[in-house]
Structure 1
Amino acid sequence: MKKKHSTLYTVIQFSMILLFALFLRKFVLTPVEVIGISMEPTYHESDRLWQTSLVSPKRFDVATFPSPRDGKRIVKRVVGLPGDTIRMENDQLYINDKKYDEPYLDEFKETLTDGQPLTADFTLASTAAGPATVVPEGKYFVLGDNRRKADDSRYFGFVDKEDIVGVVYFRYYPLNKIGVQ
């Protein structure tokens, strides 16, 4: 009788460990691979990231969601939250008519030598999100950091809150850039 309880106890322990590991993998340590150059210089092609689906994205968080183009998971920066007005003027981001710095773009802007802005002027109404002038409830406006090459909300419109898979919080590859994001 004692052997039977010991085996049952071991099976229950193993099951609990397995369930906990599956929970971590699904919601806390979900791996993501960066595809393309739209998030350079922040992330590069083939960078490996961990994301969590336990938090909602905040302004300037990097989030993942299925591409409206082909359904593949993509990585973009959340710039506009529900109720926001967004515009870019002379390479300066304005949210609700307030200037916002984007320090994650400084390195990229320093390398530009053609005299053109990194980000062309736009308003919500002039993007694929138009004719909206405000980010609607349950939606986000996202931008890639490589603004000249990014396919983002300017071209495919708003991202539904339900489509956000997770928020990036850690890079684990390449090893020389490992760390909390």
Structure 2
Amino acid sequence: MNRLKKELLEWGQAIVITIIIFSIYNYFFATTTVYNTSMYPTLVEKDMLFMAKRVDYQPGDIISFKSELTLTARDYESLNFIQKILHHEGERKNLIKRIIAGPGDSIEVADGIVKVNGEIIDEPYISTVTTKSAYYEKIPEGMYFCMGDNRSVSYDSRELGLIPEADFIGKVVFRFMPLSKIGNVD
């Protein structure tokens, strides 16, 4: 009986420690997978990314956030077995975009030019001409203007509007798959 009690206690301790480690990890970190081409060439489909939560977000950061778009039946069918366990049809879709401007900034997107606070910004990471237009005289606290690097196909703040920081999942910091491209994400 004493041996059974000791073994149950050890199992209980292992389970509690696992739950604590898992909870801490989920509080500070997250992972995601790229499912479209809106961040090409910086990120491509099937890239798997490691993200930091609870960070200070800055223009230029690549972030993932919960959008108002929902996961369709077609989206759900494209998920792998594990993803299907974690997600369900109709839930809010996660998008990955780059922060272009933040609280207090002005933003103007017109004629293929992006200006933040009246200055044309240098964007060596974009792969296509910036289409569509947008204008915000002053971005409110807690809100961000985000766009994909592949501007001609990206569904972003030009259509979605400003993104609330409350919907941010995390800042992309590291690509861990595919192994041939493992490393920091700029």
TM more than 0.5: yes
Partner of 2:169: 165
| 2:96 partner amino acid | V
Partner of 2:56: 56
Q: Does 1:133 align with 2:143?
A: no
The gaps in structure 2 that reach 5 residues or longer are 71-91
**Comparing both structures, which one devotes a greater share of its residues to strand?**
2
Q: Following superposition of structure 1 onto structure 2, how do residues 18-167 of structure 1 map, counting pairs within 5 Å?
A: 18-24=19-25, 26-70=26-70, 71-88=92-109, 91-105=112-126, 108=127, 118-120=129-131, 122-124=133-135, 132-167=136-171
Partner of 2:179: 175
Deviation, 1:31, is 1.4
Q: 1:77, 1:142 within 8 Å by CA — same for their partners in 2?
A: yes
Q: TM-score normalised to the size of structure 2? A: 0.76
Q: TM-score normalised to the size of structure 1? A: 0.78
Partner of 2:82: none
Q: 1:56, 1:167 within 8 Å by CA — same for their partners in 2?
A: no
Deviation, 1:62, is 0.6
Paired residue secondary structure (1:154): helix
Deviation, 1:138, is 1.3
| 1:23 partner amino acid | I
Rounded to whole Å, the distance in 1 between the matches of 2:18 and 2:54 is 20
The gaps in structure 1 that reach 5 residues or longer are 110-117, 125-131
| 1:170 partner amino acid | F
Deviation, 1:119, is 0.8
Cα RMSD between the aligned structures? 2.4
Deviation, 1:90, is 5.6
- Report how many residues are paired: 163
Deviating more after overlay: 153-162 vs 47-56: 47-56
Paired residue secondary structure (2:69): coil
Percentage identity across paired residues of the two chains: 31
Deviation, 1:5, is 7.2
**Distance change (3 Å), C-alpha of 1:41 and 1:84:** same
| 1:59 partner amino acid | P
**Alignment deviations for residues 123-180 of structure 1 (CA, whole Å, 9 cap, x no partner):** 41xxxxxxx4221111100000000110000011001110111111111111111112
